[in-house]
């Protein structure tokens, strides 16, 4: 069973966490490179699980279309939001208070070397979390992430976008638990025009305790990925 080192970073600037992820990814890759040329004992790489929330920010993946941001520079500034073009897959999304953002920096050589399987495992974590609240989480064909689907239509509750280098992952998922859904009106979420966005509290019709959501996510990561979690000091 793999051990993963966990840290909740609090409400933190997006660029700061992006740089932090890059540093963890690069240090892991450097260990793997050294192991390949070493004739002696190999150093085991570590995997990390970072949870946080961000101030208002819109991020555009490397395959995204900037036209899906419906704000100009002045409107963006007036809304108190930042905007970044980043090196993950996917299109545009919003991060902000009331959204749990999860960044797994996993060395998949210690799990399985299959990015599609990794994405399905991330979706499984979210589907399991929703089940704890008696909500059925679903997949939508051709659209990575997790949705709530019923007679009212298909509503995205969790967006995903990852990057992997030498089987080390970064970026991850963004789960709406009590986010201001009006913020999504300023984008075409994930570049999908005919579907809406939702949150856990909107689906339940009541306020959600963040610490409970955080704890539930940790437990579901343990179960899906079969890991032990230790604090990252």
Region 202-220 average pLDDT: 95
The catalytic residues are: 190
User: Chain-wide mean pLDDT for the chain?
Assistant: 91
pLDDT at 82: 86
> b/e string for 90-127 if b means 16 or more Cβ within 10 A?
bbbbbbbebbbbbbbbbbbebbeeeeeebbebbbbbbb
pLDDT at 192: 58
Whether pLDDT at 64 is above 90: no
The pair of structure tokens assigned to 91 is 């299109």
Region 41-63 average pLDDT: 91
pLDDT at 167: 97
pLDDT at 69: 79
pTM of the model: 0.92
Q: What is the tens place of the pLDDT at every residue in 150-160?
A: 988 899 999 99
Region 84-104 average pLDDT: 88
Name the band, by pLDDT with cuts 50, 70 and 90, for residue 139.
very high
Highest mean pLDDT among 72-76, 151-155, 184-188, 218-222: 218-222
Distance CA 76, CA 208 (A): 29
pLDDT at 194: 67
In the chain the domains, ranked by start, together with CATH numbers, are: 2-53+95-231 (3.30.930.10)
Whether pLDDT at 188 is above 80: no
Question: Of the candidates 189, 155, 228, which has an alpha carbon nearest to the alpha carbon of residue 60?
Answer: 189
Close Cβ partners of 140 (under 8 Å, ≥ 6 residues apart): 147, 149, 154, 195
Distance CA 178, CA 202 (A): 7
Whether pLDDT at 191 is above 80: no
Contact 102, 173 (CB under 8 A): yes
Region 25-42 average pLDDT: 90
């Amino acid at each position: 069973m793999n051990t993963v080192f966990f840290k909740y970073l609090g409400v933190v600037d997006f660029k700061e966490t992006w740089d932090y992820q890059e540093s963890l990814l690069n240090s892991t890759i450097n260990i793997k490179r050294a192991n390949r040329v070493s004739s002696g004992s190999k150093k085991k790489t570590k995997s990390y699980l970072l949870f946080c929330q961000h101030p208002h920010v819109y991020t555009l993946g490397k395959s995204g279309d900037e036209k899906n941001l419906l704000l100009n520079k002045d409107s963006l500034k007036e809304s108190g939001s930042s905007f970044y073009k980043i090196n993950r897959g996917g299109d545009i999304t919003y991060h902000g208070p009331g959204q749990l953002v999860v960044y797994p920096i996993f060395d998949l050589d210690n799990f399985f070397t299959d990015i599609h399987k990794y994405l399905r495992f991330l979706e499984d974590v979210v589907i399991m979390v929703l089940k704890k609240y008696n909500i059925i989480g679903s997949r939508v064909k051709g659209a990575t992430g997790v949705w709530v689907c019923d007679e009212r239509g298909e509503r995205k509750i969790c967006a995903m976008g990852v990057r992997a280098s030498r089987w080390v992952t970064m970026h991850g998922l963004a789960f709406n638990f009590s986010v201001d859904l009006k913020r999504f009106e300023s984008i075409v979420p994930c570049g999908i025009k005919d579907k809406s966005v939702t949150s856990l509290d909107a689906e339940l019709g009541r306020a959600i305790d963040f610490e409970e959501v955080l704890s539930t996510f940790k437990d579901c990561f343990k179960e899906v990925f079969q890991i032990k979690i230790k604090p990252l000091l």
